[in-house]
């Protein structure tokens, strides 16, 4: 269920996590796909990361220009940090610049998260005065996210946007 869509200007975000190229197969459930498996591996190691910002987790989708739907893409499971410290082995640091975002709040089982992405791309954006404008789209997980199977879990989906040229 889509709870709301809001526009926010977010400050710079620093994250540390694990990146993997993922290919999502047709019919794969988000709770069982390569991204879920990456989260399982990352969660076992997340305590190795210094300077964490409370319960702030990010799933970053690196949008590669010209990448066709269904093509593999880099995905990073990460936590927010106040500063970059020693980087645990096999992890990356990513700094997202301050930007304007359309934030779609999705509530439901993780397997329905596609509803949130679809709402942005097929409903909200085409009717808005904005275009997609960024290297990353990301999922934001805080205390409202309980687990993959909880129908009351909430996830915010952040889409970098800019005003349509006039």
Pick among 3.40.309.10, 3.20.80.10, 3.40.50.2000, 2.30.42.10: CATH of 2-163:
3.20.80.10
pLDDT confidence bin for 103, thresholds 50/70/90: very high
Q: Tell me: pLDDT of 60 over 90.
A: yes
pTM score: 0.93
Average pLDDT over residues 58-74: 89
Residue of higher predicted confidence among 55 and 95: 95
Count CA atoms within 13 Å of residue 159 on its CB side: 21
Q: Tell me: pLDDT of 145 over 90.
A: yes
Domains of the chain, residue spans: 2-163
Q: Tell me: pLDDT of 14 over 90.
A: yes
Q: What is the C-alpha separation between 57 and 40, in angstroms, rounded?
A: 13
Residue of higher predicted confidence among 51 and 3: 51
């Amino acid at each position: 269920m889509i709870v709301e869509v809001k526009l926010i200007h977010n400050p710079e975000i620093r994250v540390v996590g694990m990146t993997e190229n993922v290919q999502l197969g047709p019919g794969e459930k988000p709770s069982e796909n390569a991204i879920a498996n990456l989260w399982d591996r990352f969660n076992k190691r997340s305590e190795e990361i210094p300077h964490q910002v409370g319960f702030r987790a990010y799933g970053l989708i690196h949008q590669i220009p010209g990448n066709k739907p269904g093509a593999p893409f880099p995905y990073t499971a990460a936590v927010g940090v106040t500063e970059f410290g020693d980087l645990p082995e096999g992890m990356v640091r990513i700094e997202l610049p301050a930007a304007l975002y359309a934030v779609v709040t999705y509530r439901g089982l993780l397997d329905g998260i596609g509803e949130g992405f679809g709402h942005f791309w097929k409903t909200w954006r085409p009717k808005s005065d904005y275009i997609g404008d960024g290297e990353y789209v990301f999922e934001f997980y805080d205390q409202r996210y309980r687990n993959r199977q909880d129908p009351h879990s909430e996830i915010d989906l952040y889409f970098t946007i800019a005003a349509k040229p006039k």
